[in-house]
Chain A
Amino acid sequence: MTTTPDAPAAAPPVLSVRNLVKHFPVRSRGLVRRQVGVVHAVCGVSFDLAERETLGLVGESGSGKSTTARALLNLQPATSGEVFYRGRELTRLSRGEMRALRRDLQIVFQDPYASLDPRLPVNEIVAEPLRIHGLYGDEGRTVVRDLLRTVGLKPEHGNRYPHEFSGGQRQRIGIARALALRPKVLVLDEPVSALDVSIQAGVLNLLDELQDELGLSYLFVSHDLSVVRHIADRIAVMYLGRIVETGTAEQLFASAAHPYTQALISAIPLPDPRKERARERITVVGDMPSPVNPPSGCRFRTRCPKFADELTEAERQVCVDDNPALVDRGQGHPAACHYAESRTLL
């Protein structure tokens, strides 16, 4: 495998997602269970992931991040859209065909308590992927020991059960399991959200080190913009099933163009009393609307401060009628707002 660390963008992406859509039917209660509506969980998401790159997918809970992650790994069938891994389309693969590709595409889950089988000792948990793919063999035991050491766990503890470990250690077990198949792409669904900060930092550093050494690509899903800024090269901001802004981490933080990104950046308190108290803020009102009845046009318009305070009646009508495309409107990176305008908020 050749790597070109200095020009990752020039190489073809490892993973490409095009117009990914995932709808969940809402059924009535009772015996017949008619379909009475649709959860528009993910509505036309597209992005690329380059080799050795970390793409941060960030947004509030319910914005469709996990659904995107699961659909692109074929854990839940996508409603429509395409996912290409090294040129191969994944969404139409059979389970058997997908199985072989699972060695390259792995996932780490959010909840370190729920994502490990409580009835298996850690050695077995980490060996599970090897066994499934017939790779355990004679050296299986050694491989598992090495994996545990790699993620900073003591191999002697391999006979223990998950509940005997702390949250941070469990998340490392989850990472070891995902690494066992030596994947190329790791999807990380809120891998540190359940951890205390001092523990979370350890897991983030570990991910950094693994990426450097193993040349992995990460799709890092998180609701925490600070974590994403720390770990990601590029960031995609999601709102109600759509990506509303993408760019490199520097672009996004230096000149956020979408009102939602701006609000998100504003809302995160800085651990620095003087800066925090002197900040300019863009605040939003209300909660994210239900994805069962998303607003027409721009989905953010019901909470958009620009829509509410700055636009004329005619301009607003555009937000109500037209879904803003995710394109560069002169800010240097794409944002899905008809009236995108860069702001520096930090």
Chain B
Amino acid sequence: MFRRFLQHRLAVVSLCVLIALVLLAYVGSALWQYDFGEITPDNSQPPSLAHPFGTDSVGKDQFAQVLRGTQISLQIAVLVALFSTLIGTVWGSVAGYFGGLTDTILMRISDLVLTLPLLAVAAMLAQNFGGSWWLISLVIAGLYWAYVSRVSRGVVLSLREKEFIEAAKALGASDLRIIFRHLVPNALGSIIVNATILVAIAILLETSLSYLGFGVRPPDTSLGILVSEAQTALTTRPWLFYFPGLFIIVIALTINFIGDGLRDALDPQQTRVRQ
């Protein structure tokens, strides 16, 4: 499986880029001469050697800010993908596998969750608890697992009819064993692809929540905040917009490619990989 992943060139490159990015965000920011909250005497500087990404109007070093933003955005993205995938997969698999009343009840609940307005929930929680990155993650995950559960239920429903599931029953396998040994591994490909999409969605959602003031709160920052703050300065200080924007795109893309690579690597039938 590992070999098959290594054959997927784009995924391997993406993984390297992502690892580099993570190192940069955590190790790099610790080593960097400016702290993300620190106000330097230079304000509104375009990129230079001292400030590779320039500075904003109050003099904060944009490089430090982007690295901090990357940390927060990655944490949010990973937490959201992890939680919603975990809960959603189990929820959807159980619903799809057992069917009948279980299915109806579980799916009604997840339908209900899907209808909750994300912004209203986020706004309410932000009012009462203040914005922090993990709260944002939990809010997004708390709504998006329902979406994952729909997807995994669909996959499981079609897998459930396969003869190899019936074969497992005929051998006397327990429901848990069938779900976790046979159904989930076979559904994993679709689940992973979904999770990578969730990562991108989470980053973007955080952006819009932050933009509306319900997300991460200054002085802390995230890539979303950086992008939204920079919008007003797009013509005068475009570097403030482009660097966090670039990071968002790179993160979303690399995670997507890694997801593709994982899916193919998990599928033993995939003898050749798409380059």
Interface residues of A (CB under 8 A from B): 70, 73, 75, 98-100, 102-103, 106-107, 109-111, 114-119, 121, 128-129, 132-133, 161, 163, 174, 177, 181
Cα(A110)–Cα(B163), bound, Å: 9
- The answer to whether A106 and B170 have CB atoms under 8 Å apart is yes
Distance from B170 Cβ to chain A, minimum over Cβ atoms (Å): 5
Residues of A within 8 A of B166 (CB): 70, 75, 109, 115
- The answer to whether A102 and B170 have CB atoms under 8 Å apart is yes
Q: Can you offer 30 A-B residue contacts whose CB atoms are under 8 A?
A: A75-B170, A99-B172, A100-B172, A102-B170, A107-B170, A109-B166, A110-B163, A111-B163, A114-B164, A115-B166, A116-B164, A116-B167, A117-B182, A117-B185, A118-B164, A118-B186, A118-B268, A118-B269, A119-B185, A119-B267, A119-B268, A121-B268, A128-B168, A128-B173, A129-B172, A132-B171, A161-B269, A163-B268, A163-B269, A181-B171
Q: Whose C-beta in chain B lies nearest to the C-beta of A124?
A: B181
Residues of B within 8 A of A161 (CB): 268-269
- The answer to whether A115 and B167 have CB atoms under 8 Å apart is yes
Q: Whose C-beta in chain A lies nearest to the C-beta of B161?
A: A114
Distance from A145 Cβ to chain B, minimum over Cβ atoms (Å): 19
Interface residues of B (CB under 8 A from A): 162-164, 166-174, 177, 182, 185-186, 266-269
Cα(A245)–Cα(B3), bound, Å: 57
Residues of B within 8 A of A102 (CB): 170-172
Cα(A99)–Cα(B172), bound, Å: 5
Interface of B is mostly: helix
Cα(A279)–Cα(B269), bound, Å: 48
Residues of A within 8 A of B172 (CB): 98-100, 102-103, 129, 132-133
Cα(A161)–Cα(B4), bound, Å: 14
- The answer to whether A75 and B169 have CB atoms under 8 Å apart is yes
- The answer to whether B169 and A117 have CB atoms under 8 Å apart is no
Q: Whose C-beta in chain A lies nearest to the C-beta of B182?
A: A117
Residues of B within 8 A of A111 (CB): 163
A-B pairs, 5 with minimum CB distance: A161-B268, A115-B163, A102-B172, A99-B172, A114-B163
Distance from B266 Cβ to chain A, minimum over Cβ atoms (Å): 8
Distance from A161 Cβ to chain B, minimum over Cβ atoms (Å): 4
Residues of A within 8 A of B185 (CB): 117, 119
Q: Whose C-beta in chain A lies nearest to the C-beta of B188?
A: A119
Residues of B within 8 A of A109 (CB): 163, 166-167
Cα(A163)–Cα(B167), bound, Å: 17
Known contacts A118-B186, A163-B268; can you find 20 more A-B pairs with CB under 8 A?
A70-B166, A73-B170, A75-B170, A102-B172, A106-B171, A107-B170, A109-B163, A109-B166, A114-B163, A115-B166, A116-B164, A118-B267, A119-B267, A119-B268, A128-B168, A128-B171, A161-B269, A174-B167, A177-B167, A177-B171
Residues of B within 8 A of A114 (CB): 162-164
Residues of B within 8 A of A99 (CB): 172
Residues of A within 8 A of B182 (CB): 117, 119
- The answer to whether A129 and B171 have CB atoms under 8 Å apart is yes
Cα(A99)–Cα(B170), bound, Å: 9
Distance from B219 Cβ to chain A, minimum over Cβ atoms (Å): 48
Distance from A106 Cβ to chain B, minimum over Cβ atoms (Å): 7
